[in-house]
Structure 1
Amino acid sequence: MAELSKVAMVATMGLIAALLSPTAMSLEPSFISMVTDDAQLPDGLSYDFHAESCPNLENMVREAVQAAIAKDVGVVAGLLRILFHDCFPQGCDASLLLTGANSELKMPQNGGLRQSALDLIESIRATVHRACGPTVSCADITTLATKQAIMQSGVPGYDLPLGRKDSLAPATFQQVGILPGPDFRIDQLVKTFADRGFDKVELAALSGAHTIGKASCGSFKNRAGENADFVLRLQGLCARMPNRLQDLDVDTPNTFDHKYYKNLQAKKGVLVTDMALNNDDKTREWVNNFAGNQGWFFGTFSNTMSKLSKLQGKPVTVGEIRNNCFRVNNGKKETLDLIVAEGIVPSA
């Protein structure tokens, strides 16, 4: 993947795009390290990590994502939400993908994750491993697929370090509880993102991922705001069709653009968290900036996505490269050694 050395700019998301879940519990954050200098990457990561072992990696991911979007444009929002919900609790380690008794997929914060996007990640892994052997982790594939989905939506690329290992176990319920809920107040949002090293500008930028994707009626049942007609219309639609999915961007729901911020200015944010951005002077300033300049939004979003991809919990050298994204490599000696050493019980 020679081209993958340092690409510049793109995309994704906070509270993230599709089907947000019930309000997350207010818990103290688990330890996670943040990168403050782009020149300083977590140990084990590099921008050209797979250049020799899998030189055609980027092309394989690009083609698979392109084919998936042609069938279902919603896969872009699906990948964005998967990436955010994987990286935010304990770093980008594909722990979210694990199935089994303690799976993060069964936790309320992850309700409604798009199955077609989950399947796409595993499909890409199978293609890549057939071509290059088991050299690329599901964690790297998830970050690469999300980046490609954003780029194919019209946003420039961004720096993406590679070389992650896959987690040997899901994140805990407490770690997943850190994810912001759709009813969070602005002070809760600011603290939650600050605990992961993101400032108010980056919070406003990542929220822009809501320019695509949908939310369930349960995600905004407590919505109230200045635009009474808009809120009443949403509530009326849900009363008639409680299982419907509401576009988060009511203007251009399938286009990655800055119309989401224009909707906030018009008091037409769907979620409580969307409208909360207007309740703080600093975040409101950036809502206005991004509404007035799409390029500014894209650039800030890209830089913030690059930062999100560097969130790290355990050292990236701890873990494995899964032979199936949905389960650990049971029986593999090095995996068992790590499990015994750390007291980890793998998912079924």
Structure 2
Amino acid sequence: MAALKMTISCFVFLQVLSCLLSSFALSKALGLKVGFYDMSCPKAELIVKKSVFEAMKKDLTLGAPLLRMFFHDCFVRGCEGSVLLDLKNKKDEKNAIPNLFLRGFEIIDDAKAALEKECPGIVSCSDVLALVARDAMVVLNGPSWEVETGRRDGLVSNISEALSNLPSPFNNISSLITQFHSKGLNKKDLVVLSGGHTIGNGHCPQITNRLYNFTGKGDSDPNLDTGYATSLRKICKPTDTTTALEMDPGSFKTFDESYFKLVSKRRGLFQSDAALLDNQETKSYLLNQMKSDRSTFFKDFGVSMVKMGRIGVLTGKAGQIRKNCRMVNK
């Protein structure tokens, strides 16, 4: 019996060791690490932070589109800066419908220009974007996390790939779970990252269907709080294509946990917000985030952002370090 217990213990130990070694190998394979530029460009993160802080002093509403810019980059071809590219034929990711409300590209340009003066050809645009997303949240009194760097930049940007890969505000819970799972993100990541909707704006075309013709019979979404629906109809008329709405009314410029309270009360702006209540696991995560203190949400958000920042990265000799984030090197 003693020999059997020892054999089982050894087996368990070897399994755990194997998992640890596999995790270590994956981390090394990614080629990402905190402080990647400590030797090659020691001021890199400070330079990026300065660009973000100076821009957001003038306009706090830039925080949300900068966060979504990173999200939208990572979900299409991975976190390799393809959302930043400009193509002459306008068939780039920027011109895909889900990206038309992204703003703040000039902040990436300014940070990159300053980095090229300090240490030419060293810091990738995709790393700049990852750092900008973090720094923008700090300005909004949100979470901070250690950003892994070491990404290199991609060479392709395709409008159709953005359309097919980015989660839609009209998605149901099954679609959301499938899309996130395909990127290596789980149900908790889905809920936590959806919490980013605590900042920024949506627009009327994204909710017109919920308000006026949800099932094709001139009805509204039954999962939307009736009082909230009434207030939204006062803002968004059926033909309105431009009006913006606060995602988190009253605190859309502050990163906090109030989003989860709104969704639990059926006041999430998008169908994709309401969908989080349609799965037992995502609903449980959402309610736990609502009941937890702010520090728990902030910690979880940072963990999920780091995971997302590893999607499809280019490292080593793959890709390139763009000199200008809007175009590939000649």
Compute the TM-score of the two structures, normalised by the length of structure 2. 0.84
Give the C-alpha shift of residue 313 in structure 1.
5.2
Contact 2:93/2:161 (8 A) holds in 1: no
Whole-Å separation in 1 of the counterparts to 2:130 and 2:233: 36
The residue type paired with residue 227 of structure 2 is: D
Distance 2:143 2:232 in 1: 33
Q: Name 2:96's counterpart in structure 1.
A: 107
The Cα of 1:180 is off from its aligned counterpart by 0.7
Aligned residue type for 1:298: F
Checking the alignment, whether the CA contact within 8 Å between 1:277 and 1:283 is kept in structure 2 is: yes
CA distance in 2, matches of 1:46, 1:149: 21
Q: Is the Cα–Cα contact under 8 Å of residues 124 and 141 in structure 1 kept in the other structure?
A: yes
Segment of structure 1 superposing worse, 181-190 or 170-179: 170-179
Aligned CA RMSD, in angstroms, stands at: 1.9
- Cα displacement (A) at 1:69: 1.2
Partner of 1:234: 232
Shift of 1:152: 2.6
Q: TM-score, normalised by structure 1?
A: 0.79
Query: CA offsets per residue over residues 170-206 of structure 1, 9 Å max, x none?
Result: 1462364111111001111111111111111110000
Indicate the SS of the match to 2:165.
Answer: coil
Compared CA separation, residues 316 and 111, structure 1 to 2 (3 A): farther
Q: Is the 8 A contact 2:143 2:302 kept in 1?
A: yes
Corresponding residue SS for 2:149 = coil
The aligned runs of 1:246-325 (5 Å cut-off) are 246-293=245-292, 294-312=294-312, 315=315, 317-325=317-325
Greater radius of gyration (CA): 2
Q: Distance in 2 between matches of 1:189 and 1:84?
A: 14
Change (3 A) 1:205 1:113: same
Partner Cα separation in structure 1 for residue 58 and residue 161 of structure 2: 36
AA of the residue aligned to 2:283: R
Letter in 1 for 2:195: G
Partner of 1:123: 110
Cα drift, residue 300 of structure 1: 1.0
Contact 1:251-1:263 at 8 Å conserved across structures: no
What are the within-5 Å matches in structure 2 for residues 116-155 of structure 1? Answer: 117-155=104-142
1:72 is aligned, of 52, 59, 62, to 59
Structure 2 unmatched ranges of 5 or more: 1-21, 211-220
Q: Which runs of 5+ in 1 are unaligned?
A: 1-35, 331-348
Aligned equivalents of 1:42 and 1:159: distance in 2? 19
Q: Which structure 2 residues correspond to residues 185-264 of structure 1 after superposition, within 5 A?
A: 185-223=172-210, 224=221, 225-239=223-237, 242-264=241-263
| SS in structure 1 at match of 2:34 | coil
Alpha-carbon distance in 2 for matches of 1:202, 1:153: 21
SS at match of 1:215: strand
Residue 213 of structure 2 corresponds to which residue in structure 1? none
Structure 2 letter corresponding to 1:322: R
Pick closer, same or farther for the CA change 1:41–1:210 going to 2, 3 Å. farther
Change (3 A) 1:41 1:303: farther
Q: How far, CA to CA, are the matches of 1:312 and 1:71 in structure 2? A: 34
Asked if 2 retains the 8 angstrom alpha-carbon contact of 1:193 and 1:199, the reply is yes
Paired positions, count: 293
Q: Match for 1:97: what amino acid? A: L
Q: Is the 8 A contact 1:322 1:328 kept in 2?
A: yes
The aligned residue for residue 40 of structure 1 is 27
Q: Is the 8 A contact 1:258 1:297 kept in 2?
A: yes
Quickly say closer, same or farther: Cα 1:98–1:226, change in 2 above 3 A.
closer
Greater per-residue helix proportion: 2
- 2:327 corresponds to which residue? 327
**Residue 93 of structure 1 aligns to which amino acid in structure 2?**
E
% identical aligned pairs: 30
Distance 1:41 1:276, change over 3 A: farther
